[in-house]
Structures are given as structure tokens and as C-alpha cells.
Amino acid sequence: MKKLFTVDNFIVAGISGIAYGLGFKIPQILGYEEWQCGIICMVVGFALDKLANTIVFSKTVQSSKTNRVLAVIGYILFCASIEYAFAEIKDISIDDYAMEGYAYLVVPTILGFAFSMAVRWYRVRKIRERYGDGSGGFMFDNLHEKVDLDELNSQNQQIHGAFDTDCAVKTKTGFFVGEKIKDALFFCGIPYAKPPVGKLRWKAPEPLPESEDVFEAKYLGASAIQVDYDGSPLKLHRQSEDCLYLNICVGAQKTDKKKPVIVIFHHGDFSYGGAADPILFGGQFNKIYPDAICVTFNYRLGIFGFIDFSEVPGGENYPDALNLGLLDQIAALRWIRENISSFGGDPEKITVMGFEAGALSISLLAACEQAKGLFKKAFVFHGSPMAAYGTPEVSRELAKKLLQETSTTTMAELSRLPMERLKKASQKLALNLSAPTRDGKLIPVDAYAAYLNGAAAGVEFLIGIAANEMQIFEAAVGSQKYENSITRELDYILNYIDANNPAAVQDVKNYIAARMAATSEFEAKAEVVEQVYALSTYQCAKRLADGGNRVHLLCWGVKPVIEKLGSGTVDVLAAFLGNSEAVQIYGSILNKDIAETLQTLFWKFVSGKELRLYNNEIKGVGDFDWKKFPQALIVSEKEIKCKPIVDELTEVKALIKIFAE
């Protein structure tokens, strides 16, 4: 994607070649020794090379072609005038020295490029040796060889006595003593609500009381109780109902200026996942975004976070159980807004960032009155309110199955069950778990209508579409859960289409029949689901734009390293967070050129700047303007460009009228 050289690079290299030549020849003419000429050549040549780069690649020069031309001409004339002045006086030519300087700059760059390609080839080969064709899904069984499990599962303790004040922050709910790692401070395992255990099981999160107590903040809080899929990396991390914790990464150097805050909502189908996922680790965050603060957090999942007890005796006492995970997210955002200034963050500049389940959550919270004002910007990748439609019946059915699995009949009996018994039941009910529901109470029945009526007013959005996300889902949850989900989703999609445009149902069936010539019937159905997901994400962007929100669309089209592991959430997360090591565990390779470009654009988004790159602002990347919706920033391994995308999201054109108009 990134060019080895641009015209500007060649011009600067040529100018620098002249500079190195002048730096050697002039001292030679003045009678210096050869070794002295060499030293002067390096010093003068390096200085003029730096000057050329600073001028030619400055934002002022790169902002217009006229400025670029004038700067280059001026610099060339400057060097040439000196060269010809000495040529006239001494009747010499230093062209040979200029060519030597040019080669000195160009050859190492080419060799460096070749070396980076060799390293990438080696890493891809190692990944293929481990994963084969990827049919076994994600493999994390050897993670215990890479991490200290005792440290990973350690728990923070209350501190009595002296503590490191340089790593301590006072919040409304206590003092928290983090840990300094290189140039960043990490505060891990900070509670943002009361533990939802005992009488608070299946109840809305309650705020913590104000406190002056001092606590460690060195270790991650427990992950939520979840399904232990083979493709989940959190099987080695302790799980608990007491899971409402968040983690904060901030630069160690304190400043008076308040920093923007980036809050990451983890992915995981609402049945697995958490802030302990290595792909979310913020080890590189402070290097990439030194003027921002990163926050990750957990929320309740599965039968503890999304279940409808309304038809269970005693269920009337648990009216919020249907969307507890969303209420947890709101509680986390409230704690962040109230306390982040203590960490140097700006509570008025909170950007939320979500993937899959996290993206769906944010798209729902954007329409939620209780979440109003808790964030000003949102990056939503592969998720839309449509994915929450049609789940109330599923959630009530889940409650019935939970009673059967645990041999209970009332909420009183369920509430007395030990966590281990419910964890076991959750594992067995993996194919039946629910997700957020448009209940008309917390979430509007029609989120899109809420958008059009201004529910998300004042929030700016980046909306991301994945082109190869289904394989990631299958690699994480396994073929059985995947096939069950595809079947259920396709049934819902066909019912939705039938209610809106009955004739289009036959178009979908015809497409599936035609695709069966090249693939299986199931995979043909999965392709339809993938295309509808992409269209529904586009539809989310359109409804927000129609409601007056500023929206930018991103389409991720980078091919996966291993086809059956897909390319989407994992790769995009790694690109924006710069997590090159974790993405290799997931069977992929970070494209650093793409990552650098997206990180630069994302920081402009977070900090409120125009989403535009100047020519060579990132060397080797030309200038472009990421125009607002319906234009889309299309990212591939070969190029990044901006153009309309809707016609390329599906091969069933009838679906565009239903989901994208």
C-alpha cells in the first residue's frame, strides 16, 4: 500500500546527493585532508539533507502543489549556485560526488524495504506452520507458555500504610496505585460499580460510595462469566460475577492540558470476551497516542447480562436483567466521566470505540436517553442496531432453558445457586444465548427512528464495515455455534425482507442457489448474512447522517493471511492499537503502513481535526481527503482510497433497496 518512494523522496534524495558532494569537494579544494573532508561531508550533507526534508515535507509546503514546486526549485537553486560558483572558480565538476550521495541515500532505503519484506515473509511462514489452513479456528492453548498465569490472575489488595504517590491517583471512589511501565502509567482492575453478586445478581449496577481508602491497581479485574470457546483467549483468565472493572493507560509525564479519552468496548458476541484479551493490551498505546488516555472495561455477558425473566415466577423483581450488560456499560462511562480528570483526561472529549458486540452496544447507546452526553465521538466497527432486533423471544426462551438446565422453577431458587453451577449451565446453553434487546424502556424500539429524531445529536461517528468478518466469528466460537447463528440470522433476515419487500426473498434464494455451484449451501447462506451485516452497518451510517450527525465510513478490504481465519475485527483492532504481537497470536500480520495511516486519521478524529492527510505527511502516502458519508475510505493491502461503496457491498441488488436506501 505504501509507496517505497514518492516524487518528493526522489527530489530530496537528489538534492541531498548534491549536498553530500559539496560537503566533500569544497573542503578538498580548501586543502583539507581526505579524512577531514569525509567528516565535513557527513556533517554538512546530513544537515542539508535534514533541512531539505524539513522544508519539502512540511505541512505548509505539502498543502499545495505550488508551494511544493517553489520549495524544491528554491533548494535546488541554492545548492546549484554554490556548486557552479566553485566550478567557475576552480574549473571542476562535482557531478560524480552528487551521484555518490544520491546512491548513498537510495540504496539503503531499498535494502531496508527488502529486509522488511523478508521479515514479513518469515512471520507469515511461521503462522502458516502453526495454523495450517485455519480450519481449526483460533488456537490459544499455548498462551500459558507466553504469560505468567500467577501474575495474570493476581488480585489487587487494599493498601494500608505508605504507597507510591507518583503512581497514585485520587478518585471519588478511592486512591488507586498503578504501575509505571516505561513511559506509561497503567491502572488496572479499578471497580466502577458495586460487585453484582449476592442480592445484586441480575440487578442493575449500583454506584460505589465515595471513599478515601487506598487500593492497588496493578492487576486486571476478573473477566465476566462466559462461554469458554476453543477460540477464546480468556480461558486462562479467572472469571467471576464480580467483574465490573476498568483499566486506564496514560502517559507517565504529567501535563496541565487535559487529554482526550478513548474508551474501548470489547468484542465477543455478548457471550465471551473482556479487557484481558491480549489484542486490547495497550502496551503501544502511549507511543501511538501520547496525548490521549485509553480505557478498557468488562461488562456482564451471557446469562448474567442478557436474559428475560419476565415469565419466571419472581421475575418481576429483576426488570433490568434483559439488558444488564448495556447498563454496565453506561455505569462505566459515568464513572469515567466523573473521575477521568484525576488521570489527566478531559471528560468533555470522550471517544468510544467498539467492535462487533462492542460496536452494536455503542450504536444502541447512541439512541439511549440514559447514555446521552456520555461520549462525543464514536468509532463503530461491524455492528448496527439491526443486530439487536428480534431477540425478546430468544431471551425469554433462554430463561426457560436455564430453569430446565439447573432444575429450578423460580427466581428465588436461581438466585441461590452457586456461581459454578450457573457457569456450567452457561457453557451448555452456548447455542441459545441472547444479546441486547430493543425493549422500548432502555433502548428505543426503533433505534433508527430515534437517530432521525436527533437522539444521537452532537455525536460524531466513524462507521466501519468488514468484508470478511464471518470467518473470524467461526474461528472464535467454533463451527457448531457458527452454523447455529448463521441459520438463526438468515431466518430473521428472510422474515425481515418478507415484511418489507416480499419479492426480494426470491432474489436471495436465487442467489443462494446460484452460489451453490461454487460452494456449499451453508456457505452460500453465510455469504448472504455477511452481505446483510455489511449493508446494515451502511444503513446505520445513513440513518445517523440523515439525523444530522457527522459520519465517516470505512470499509476494511484487506485480505486475510489465512482465509479461514478472516480479516476484520482482530486486524482492525491491531491496526488502530499497534498491537503487532497479539495479532500474530490470532494468525495475522500487522501491516504497519496501513496501521500508521489509520492511526494518524483516528487521532485527527479524536482530537477534532479535519480527516485529511497532506501529501507525504506520512512519507510514501499521497494526500487525500476522507470525505463524509456516503463516501467511504476503502482500505486494502494495495491502496487506500475514498469513493462510494454501497453498490459493492452485495451481489443481491434487491437488498440495497431494503437496507441501504
pLDDT tens, position by position, 251-279: 988 888 899 999 999 999 999 999 999 89
Report yes or no on 179 lying in a domain: yes
- Asked if pLDDT for residue 95 goes beyond 60, the answer is no
Residues 386 and 400 occupy one common structural domain: yes
* Spatial CA neighbour of 250 closest among 218, 212, 297, 287: 287
With 0-12 / 13-18 / 19 or more C-beta atoms within 10 angstroms meaning exposed / middle / buried, residue 207 is: middle
Residues 499 and 607 occupy one common structural domain: yes
Report yes or no on 1 lying in a domain: no
Domain span at residue 110 reads: 7-127
Report yes or no on 116 lying in a domain: yes
Report yes or no on 547 lying in a domain: yes
Number of separate domains in the chain? 2
Most confident range (mean pLDDT) of 33-47, 188-202, 475-489, 619-633 is: 188-202
Block residue for cell numbers 492527510:
613
- Asked if pLDDT for residue 388 goes beyond 90, the answer is no
**Residue 223 DSSP code:** B
Strands 551-556 and 460-466: parallel
pLDDT over 90 percentage in the chain: 50
Domain closes at, from 127, 149, 182: 127
pLDDT at 423: 95
Question: pLDDT by residue (tens digit) across 397-432?
Answer: 999 999 999 999 999 999 999 999 999 999 999 988
Domain closes at, from 127, 156, 185: 127
- Asked if pLDDT for residue 4 goes beyond 50, the answer is no
The mean-pLDDT minimum among 57-71, 149-163, 623-637 falls in 57-71
Residues 408 and 557 occupy one common structural domain: yes
Residues 114 and 235 occupy one common structural domain: no
Report yes or no on 520 lying in a domain: yes
Let me know: does 376 contact 204? Beta carbons within 8 Å.
Answer: no
Residues 339 and 471 occupy one common structural domain: yes
Residues 260 and 123 occupy one common structural domain: no
Let me know: does 64 contact 614? Beta carbons within 8 Å.
Answer: no
pLDDT at 455: 93
pLDDT at 103: 55
The DSSP line for 141-164 is: TTGGGTS-HHHHT----EE-S---
Q: Where are the alpha helices (DSSP H) in 558-648?
A: 569-577, 580-585, 592-606
CATH number, domain with residue 433: 3.40.50.1820
d(CA 48, CA 18): 10
Residues 112 and 179 occupy one common structural domain: no
3-state DSSP call for residue 355? strand
The pTM assigned to this predicted structure is 0.86
Domain closes at, from 86, 103, 127: 127
Question: pLDDT by residue (tens digit) across 38-91?
Answer: 788 778 777 877 777 777 777 677 667 787 778 777 777 776 676 667 666 655
- Asked if pLDDT for residue 9 goes beyond 70, the answer is no
d(CA 475, CA 482): 9
pLDDT at 392: 75
Question: pLDDT by residue (tens digit) across 440-451?
Answer: 899 998 999 999
Establish whether the linkage from the previous residue to 290 is cis, with ω within 30° of 0.
no
Residues 93 and 160 occupy one common structural domain: no
Report yes or no on 412 lying in a domain: yes
Block residue for cell numbers 473477566:
223
Residues 84 and 161 occupy one common structural domain: no
d(CA 105, CA 97): 13
Strands 293-297 and 214-216: unpaired
Residues 194 and 113 occupy one common structural domain: no
Residues 107 and 158 occupy one common structural domain: no
More confident site: 467 or 634: 634
Report yes or no on 546 lying in a domain: yes
Residues 122 and 137 occupy one common structural domain: no
Let me know: does 49 contact 9? Beta carbons within 8 Å.
Answer: no
pLDDT at 197: 96
As given in the structure block, the three cell numbers for residue 644 are 462510494
Report yes or no on 2 lying in a domain: no
How many other C-beta atoms are found inside a 10 Å radius of the C-beta of residue 407? 10
- Asked if pLDDT for residue 5 goes beyond 80, the answer is no
As given in the structure block, the three cell numbers for residue 340 are 477521568
Average pLDDT over residues 164-183: 93
